[in-house]
Amino acid sequence: QWNRLVEYVNYYKDHIAFALHTGDYCGSSQLEYTDFYGECDRCERPIYNCVGNHDTEEDESWRKGTPKQASKESTYKKLFGHPDDWGEVCYMEGEFSMTYYIDREESGVRIVVLDCYYDIEAQQAWLRDVLADAKKCGLHVLTAVHEITDYIVAPVETTFHTANDYLPIIGVDKKNPFEDIIADFIDDGGIHICNL
């Protein structure tokens, strides 16, 4: 699948500036890690990562209901320790940060990638500042975070699962910790394109 993504991006490289992988780079845990950047076909555009829940699992103990979260350093090295130079990425301060934004000034868009597994409170403060700055700069915002989102208030018929399908199963307390901050940004006149 990774090579299919790379083939697609490389074929349309004159029209695609980058790709964004929104999580679960590892299989069911870090035990199933493969270095796609080093072992698969080379992409001619950056492929950015977003941390997924399985990327943060040390081993398979989560299957028994006793999950062991991997260290932030281990997760960072697996998802961000590849040879590609992402260039224009602006990381949140802190050790092994996997929270960042990219400004696509030619499009007037700021892409903000969040991490639902480490440093939540620090990210919330950072996100408020990053959104305020985007509004000041006249940038529209697109956010990306793995899996956790709120209910879709105006659902449409789709061929894929949405939050409405699984939130009743996992429980609404799993709400994205950044939703209210994004809502405040919108209420204050900021333009939020979507959350991936």
pLDDT confidence band for 63 (50 / 70 / 90): confident
pTM for the full model?
A: 0.87
∠ CA 25-13-54, rounded to 5°: 5
Q: How many Cα neighbours within 13 Å face the side chain of 52?
A: 20
Among 24-38, 57-71, 130-144, 145-159, top mean pLDDT goes to 130-144
Question: What confidence tens digit (pLDDT) does each residue in 127-142 have?
Answer: 999 999 999 999 999 9
Rounded to an integer, what distance in angstroms lies between the CA atom of residue 43 and that of residue 160? 27
Indicate the angle between helix axes 120-137 and 179-187, nearest 10 degrees. 20
Measured in whole angstroms, the distance separating CA 68 from the mean position of its chain's CA atoms is 21
> Which amino acid would we find at residue 185?
F
Residue 115: what pLDDT?
Answer: 94
Res 156: pLDDT: 73
